[in-house]
Amino acid sequence: MRGGKGGGLLVAGTTSDAGKSVVTAGICRWLVRKGLKVAPFKGQNMSLNSFVTREGAEIGRAQAMQAQAARVEPTALMNPVLLKPGGDRSSQVVLMGKPVGELSAKGYHGGRQKELFEPVMACLEELRSTYDAVICEGAGSPAEINLRRTDIVNMGVARAAKLPVVVVGDIDRGGVFAQFFGTTALLSPEDQSLVAGYLVNKFRGDVSLLEPGLDMLYGLTGRRTFGVLPYAHGLGIDEEDGLRVSLRGTVRESVVAPPVGADVLRVAVCAVPLMSNFTDVDALAAEPGVVVRFVDRPEELVDADLVVVPGTRGTVKALAWLRERGLADALARRAAEGRPVLGICGGFQTLGERIEDEVESKAGVVDGLGLLPVRVRFGVEKTLARPVGEALGERVEGYEIHHGVADVRGGEPFLDGCRVGAVWGTHWHGSLESDGFRRAFLREVAAAAGRRFVPAPDTSFGALREEQLDRLGDLIEEHADTDALLRLIEEGAPAGLPFVPPGAP
């Protein structure tokens, strides 16, 4: 490795959602299977899906997933800056796992982002001094020329750390050759000198039909393509951001297996604004016979056996949305009829009697849906914790990320929340990943819903996640030039890469 430091690589993308997160995870899993000590890194992440590390730091879920791929414990070093959108124009800034304030996009890019460059680079250098290799993930596109001056996650990091860059493009969306060429041609000569080549993602069909285009791309840019990764179904790996796509009607991918009992179980997830950690329902979708859908209409709750109101970065905004859509009335009807409802974190808060919020929305006192005997007051300090407890006779692990403090005034205890009839509420994210508890909970749901659904006795969410991460490692090992990638990681970008005009203006 260079200069006594661990090797490194920056995985950039032609667009958001090109596949940077999963490619980074796949490279981490491939390298760790080779016996290397590997860490993921993303200098700045924008996501509403986050995770709490064992030291109580909040980081993006994608980096936690990549750490699992690398078989290391996630830490704040792996994602020093996390932006959690609170609307179209502002985000909470989380630095080294702790919130440090709210900033508008203009305020952030206008000065604060530049101040964060030094701590970001210090984290990367610390990781490189400890690990054999650090696989960095970029954000958006490195060719966002309007943001290059203050960049702390793409070419700014690559230049400062002298990291080689591989650009990932999603061919399933079309236009990947133009994206590769245009991304390179919009970079300065200094930035271009680090762009070693490309990775095609989500290819369907005969690779031989693609090869002439790859040859022409090499002729135009002087850069090779390091692999063509096939489209892979059913990976279900944690998404980074729920803001870019409409989730109405989206079905979470499930294992392809019939139900154990006579019936399937239908789960409807209310697609509330600023939805956070909707990955909580992945463990439900992993169960044979459980169908999970995201919905935004009251009629879509009619045939649901369980309705989940998920976490949100805007509890008061979510409450207003539930009422405007008629979902609040539908949830009240369900509760009166003894039909199952589960509220998680912000969703739990909406189910309570009253919310006092001078922190998140600054709306003051707002009436909740009144389905649970809970009153919530938002505090300035954010609760970040990894609790362990018991519910329904089973051990449960979870994690907490919330400003709201719940005053539970009745009902049966349920984790840190409560249960009244078939309505449950808790601040704990990730509780459904505890296999015994998930099975016990689904049995209760099936009984209340009158369904002859039986949870599979041997579904292990942890084992399924490991299988998915191994599949990502397999994609890299089988469809990328791993020898060439390893040389890049160990030695850096090759010298003499040609300049592609016109370059950055």
Residue labelled with tokens 């936690």: 64
Q: Which of 136, 270, 345, 418 is catalytic?
A: 345
Amino acid found at 96 = M
CA nearest to 46, candidates 79, 85, 13, 76: 85
Q: Is residue 418 annotated as a catalytic residue, yes or no?
A: no
CB 32: neighbour CB atoms within 10 A?
20
Strands 7-13 and 133-137: parallel
CA dihedral 217, 221, 226, 227 (to 10 degrees): -20
And the tokens for 89?
Answer: 């124009």
Q: Which of 402, 403, 427, 429 is catalytic?
A: 429
Q: Is residue 136 annotated as a catalytic residue, yes or no?
A: no
CB 111: neighbour CB atoms within 10 A?
11
Q: Is 398 exposed, middle or buried (0-12, 13-18, 19+ CB in 10 A)?
A: buried
And the tokens for 106?
Answer: 């203009």
And the tokens for 37?
Answer: 């000590």
Strands 400-408 and 374-385: antiparallel
Alpha carbon distance 374, 390 (integer Å)? 20
| CA count, 13 A, side-chain hemisphere, 370 | 7
Contact 369, 331 (CB under 8 A): yes
Share of the chain residues as helix, strand and coil, in percent rounded to the nearest 5: 35, 30, 35
And the tokens for 272?
Answer: 């509330």
Torsions phi, psi for 40 (to 5 deg): -85, 165
Alpha carbon distance 49, 268 (integer Å)? 19
Instruction: Tell which phi-psi region holds residue 284, choosing left (phi > 0), alpha (psi between -120 and 50) or beta.
Output: alpha
CA nearest to 291, candidates 250, 252, 256, 248: 252
Alpha carbon distance 332, 327 (integer Å)? 9
Contact 201, 23 (CB under 8 A): yes
DSSP conformational letter for 409: -
Contact 135, 30 (CB under 8 A): no
CB 207: neighbour CB atoms within 10 A?
13
Contact 14, 176 (CB under 8 A): yes
Active site residues: 345, 429
